[in-house]
Structure 1
Amino acid sequence: MGLGKTVQTIVFLYSLYKEGHSKGPYLVSAPLSTIINWEREFEMWAPDFYVVTYTGDKESRSVIRENEFSFEDNAIRSGKKIKFHVLLTSYELITIDQAVLGSIEWACLVVDEAHRLKNNQSKFFRVLNSYKIDYKLLLTGTPLQNNLEELFHLLNFLTPERFNNLEGFLEEFADISKEDQIKKLHDLLGPHMLRRLKADVFKNMPAKTELIVRVELSQMQKKYYKFILTRNFEALNSKGGGNQVSLLNIMMDLKKCCNHPYLFPVAAVVLLPNGSYDGNSLVKSSGKLMLLQKMLKKLRDGGHRVLIFSQMTKMLDLLEDFLEYEGYKYERIDGGITGGLRQEAIDRFNAPGAQQFCFLLSTRAGGLGINLATADTVIIYDSDWNPHNDIQAFSRAHRIGQNKKVMIYRFVTRASVEERITQVAKRKMMLTHLVVRPGLGSKSGSMTKQELDDILKFGTEELFKDDVEGE
């Protein structure tokens, strides 16, 4: 997360090659969105490496295999000389082209954002496990996201002969809050993990400050919030509570309501001939947007540049309308914007003298392997269930290359599901602090019905009390 994992890895592979320890070939698997950046860094740090980027459609890949894989026809099958030193490809192609890639004997495998391997039932994990690989290197800023089971699967992928008993592992570290258990786990992890802190890598890293900004619901939001609760009264109040799926659906609706009521088609009123929303109504309908409007004015006047993260692409659409209305220039990345276009947007934003003031990003798509250190302010418009995704998000700005103090503002709607979710997320972070550096382990990463129930009912008393007082 801005610690230079990519550069360190490239230099490591290059030194293995240059010092005669290994001739390759090396397989690097990374999220599609980061492959362009990997290419650039290979050019800069390992100029003598022959790097083949293996992406594209079926035909493109066939052409790459014919021309770039070996010096002779059918050499891959018969084990003749491989032409390249490094093959750079995406997670998906590891699975899709298993027949070809799995037939090569790899000197070293590198998996970027390796928390993708946290589930040993995933196809990616099973397929990659069948490849012929001498050495494995996993890169991740978040080795532990929800529970110890995920950490075990990473260790099992690296050294299956040593870590092969999940039940035993979980039993052994069942009470991870005890100091002797933590020390034991650290000793076990020691030989398998090289941990770098930003402070180790970059001594003069500017500080970052995170502020939770509590926001009030607008009148329109209060109306819809109450409507969602009353409409689902039976599911919320039945003896055993509603089933988990219906409770999660109610929670999503309440989260949407906290963001903006226009996320419900019934509330969205198109007032302008061009089909966009009336800017004034758009802002006044949401407590968060009213606050954002005031904040952006001050940030703009102070010469800051801002990354705004939301989990919902429909919310990014509304934020686009809002930025247009306010007259701010911006860029945007979400899951629908791929490789080349994504990198162009990043390059435009990072260019010297760029006019773009804001960058809109979806938390999941914009939170991996992207360098936006030219911004010094991060606004998390709505928090992710998984606090590590938010950390990945603000690490786009707080990374090597940043020379200003970074401010992170996390919007949380007061006395709502959001406030309770933030408290649950804090508990998840405790787990990481205790295990990965001096780790609180629950065996389950998903939420129980009781927890869901608790989150949904948080703040409702106050909301409905207003009604009684108003009557």
Structure 2
Amino acid sequence: MGLGKTVQTIVFLYSLYKEGHSKGPYLVSAPLSTIINWEREFEMWAPDFYVVTYTGDKESRSVIRENDFSLPLLLQKEAQIKFHVLLTSYELITIDQAVLGSIEWACLVVDEAHRLKNNQSKFFRVLNSYKIDYKLLLTGTPLQNNLEELFHLLNFLTPDRFNNLEGFLEEFADISKEDQIKKLHDLLGPHMLRRLKADVFKNMPAKTELIVRVELSQMQKKYYKFILTRNFEALNSKGGGNQVSLLNIMMDLKKCCNHPYLFPVAAVEAPVLPNGSYDGNSLVKSSGKLMLLQKMLKKLRDGGHRVLIFSQMTKMLDLLEDFLEYEGYKYERIDGGITGGLRQEAIDRFNAPGAQQFCFLLSTRAGGLGINLATADTVIIYDSDWNPHNDIQAFSRAHRIGQNKKVMIYRFVTRASVEERITQVAKRKMMLTHLVVRPGLGSKSGSMTKQELDDILKFGTEELFKDDVEGE
């Protein structure tokens, strides 16, 4: 991530064309939010390419097809494709399958290709039916949870060779053994070109990640205990609650670790200013994380740093907006509701020379893909994602080519809470990636078992309730 996959791919396609190996057409499928960036890079690195961006509503796409798809028939027997590259989103690959699937593509490029990790998804099945000579998958995270996902990517690339999932999983069941790891690396070798930042950019500034343990505020402790006691039966029945109810309890506990105002009952009682935003002082004092963030941002501002703040919850980003307004900091924001042009404008404003914006608020999933924010040198992960690879995608927005300062990553984890236990589970997933994708344990399973959920939910509860007993 941040190694220039986009540029390398464009130059690769351009050289295929220029050197006469292939006339195209080439199909590039990417997340909608990154398409503007792909357009820019094509203009810069492949100026002679006729690139058609195929997005928009039904009518817009009809106009594009009419004007940009094929040359007039005249003397030729078949309609010739007019463009060299068609740039489109995942969704339109499925929606306009009838049109796009009828074209014979010289090469397919899928950006953020971990989207193909599930062979039951519509995107996988539809794209598999397209007529494609060569396939190129781009991803910084080829292995997110387990070996099954890696197999599906390989199956998409070369279905003739990788067609037996059970056999593959059986063969590499004990991936902690050295000979198994070597065997898997040899198998992956011909299909995977892996680049590390150290290989590509020798002078890449260092990055340091620190886990910052945060205490719950009094208000948070009150709500945390309330969630646990309200769900006492689900947590303590012999069979435990069902998986769905346990996940709901976990989400409530994660919200509580972020800020009590995420619960409507607390938000209603919270002091509000005449303009509708929350009273800053009460907002900060209600959350251990915000109290820490307030102190950290003052020091970071004084030190001339610029900060990216990631949260999984858009409602938490709303609270962080109120907080930044209260503190008087200028900021930008991107979440799933901000798309296309507006998103790129926010990035351009933040990256502009002499920009006054000190912070950039981003949702982990929406702000973690294909965005370059190397003008920031500090990343704060306000709450960790279930999947550690999404957090890595997030902080790679700053730690990438173009960065000339050391990058500091601060991960907020509430002490003796579900967050602390989730962090430990995430570390196990990272070990699997480390061993399989580049030299160097892990289990086959990706999703959490009921036992793991139980374990996470009960982590730290003894200490929390001990405070009550001692206080009586």
Say if 1:378 and 1:407, in contact at 8 Å, map to a contact too.
yes
CA contact (8 A) 2:10 2:42 kept: yes
Preserved CA contact (<8 Å) 2:55 2:89? yes
Query: Which residue of structure 2 aligns with residue 470 of structure 1?
Result: 471
- 1:77 positional shift: 13
Give how far 1:442 is off: 2.4
CA distance in 2, matches of 1:451, 1:23: 53
1:79: Cα distance to partner?
A: 4.2
Specify whether residues 445 and 107 from structure 1 end up closer, same or farther in structure 2 by C-alpha distance, changes over 3 A only.
same
- Distance in 1, matches of 2:133 and 2:76, equals 19
Change (3 A) 1:79 1:394: farther
Task: Say how many residue pairs are matched.
Answer: 465
Task: Tell me if structure 1 keeps the 8 A contact 2:428–2:442.
Answer: no
Q: Deviations over 1:108-154 (max 9, x none)?
A: 00000000000000000000000000000000000000000000000
* CA–CA separation in structure 2 for the residues paired with 1:383 and 1:423: 11
Distance 2:77 2:442 in 1: 48
1:391 aligns with 2:392: yes
Using the alignment, how far apart are the partners of 2:441 and 2:57 within structure 1?
A: 45
C-alpha contact 1:77 1:103 (8 A) present in aligned 2: no
The alignment partner of 1:240 has SS state of: coil
2:120 & 2:324 partners in 1: Cα distance?
A: 43
User: What is the DSSP-based 3-state SS (H/G/I as helix, E as strand, rest coil) of the residue aligned with 1:398?
Assistant: coil
Is the CA contact 1:421–1:455 (under 8 Å) kept in the aligned structure 2? Answer: yes
Residue 237 of structure 2 corresponds to residue 241 of structure 1: no
Higher mean C-alpha displacement, 369-378 vs 77-86: 77-86
Cα separation, 1, equivalents of 2:193 and 2:347:
30
User: Does the 8 Å contact 1:177/1:439 carry over to 2?
Assistant: no
Q: Tell me by how many angstroms 1:268 deviates.
A: 1.3
Structure 1: which 5+ residue stretches go unaligned? 71-75
Does structure 1 residue 372 correspond to structure 2 residue 373? yes
Q: Distance in 1 between matches of 2:199 and 2:345?
A: 31
Range 283-292 or range 436-445, more displaced? 436-445
Residues in 2 aligned to 1:387 and 1:376: alpha-carbon distance in whole angstroms: 20
Alignment-derived partner of residue 167 in structure 1: 166
Q: Are the aligned partners of 1:176 and 1:441 in contact in 2 as well (CA < 8 Å)?
A: yes
Deviation of 1:361 after TM superposition, in Å, equals 0.1
Retained in 2: the 8 A contact 1:148–1:441? Answer: no
Runs (5+) with no aligned partner, structure 2: none
Deviation at 1:443, TM superposition (A): 2.5
Structure 1 residue 439 displacement after superposition: 5.8
Query: Percent identity of the aligned residues?
Result: 98
TM-score by length of 1: 0.98
Secondary structure, aligned partner of 1:444: coil
- The alignment yields a C-alpha RMSD, in angstroms, of 1.2
Q: Contact 1:79 / 1:104 at 8 angstroms: preserved in 2?
A: no
Q: Is the 8 A contact 1:176 1:439 kept in 2?
A: no
- Which whole-Å CA distance do the structure 1 matches of 2:349 and 2:44 have between them? 20
SS at match of 1:361: strand
Name the counterpart of 2:36: 36
For residues 183-213 of structure 1, give each alpha carbon's deviation from its aligned partner in whole angstroms, at most 9, with x where no partner exists: 0000000000000111111110000000000
Give secondary structure in 2 for the equivalent of 1:77.
Answer: coil
Instruction: Give the whole-Å Cα distance in 2 for the aligned partners of 1:12 and 1:255.
Output: 44
Deviations 1:254-312 (A, max 9, x none): 0000000000010114x222221100000000000000000000000000000000000
Residue 423 of structure 1 deviates from its aligned partner by 0.2
How far apart are the structure 1 equivalents of 2:318 and 2:440? 39
CA distance in 2 between partners of 1:380 and 1:236 (Å): 29
Deviations along 1:149-203, one digit per CA (max 9) or x if unpaired, are 0000000000000000000000000000000000000000000000011111111
User: Do the aligned residues in 1 keep the contact of 2:311 with 2:381 (CA within 8 Å)?
Assistant: yes
Q: Distance in 2 between matches of 1:284 and 1:441?
A: 40
- The residue aligned with 1:55 is 55
TM (norm. structure 2) is: 0.98
Distance in 2 separating the partners of 1:19 and 1:276: 60
Give the structure 1 partner of residue 199 of structure 2: 200
**How far apart are residue 440 of structure 1 and its match?**
2.7
User: 1: CA distance between counterparts of 2:448 and 2:389?
Assistant: 16
Q: What residue number does 1:136 align with?
A: 135
Is this contact kept in 2: 1:27–1:108, CA < 8 A? yes
Checking the alignment, whether the CA contact within 8 Å between 1:367 and 1:392 is kept in structure 2 is: yes
Corresponding residue of 2:105: 106
1:257–1:263: 8 Å Cα contact kept in structure 2? yes
Which of 114-123 and 430-439 deviates more? Answer: 430-439
User: What is the CA deviation profile of residues 426-448 of structure 1, one whole-angstrom value per residue up to 9, with x for unaligned ones?
Assistant: 00000000000116342321111
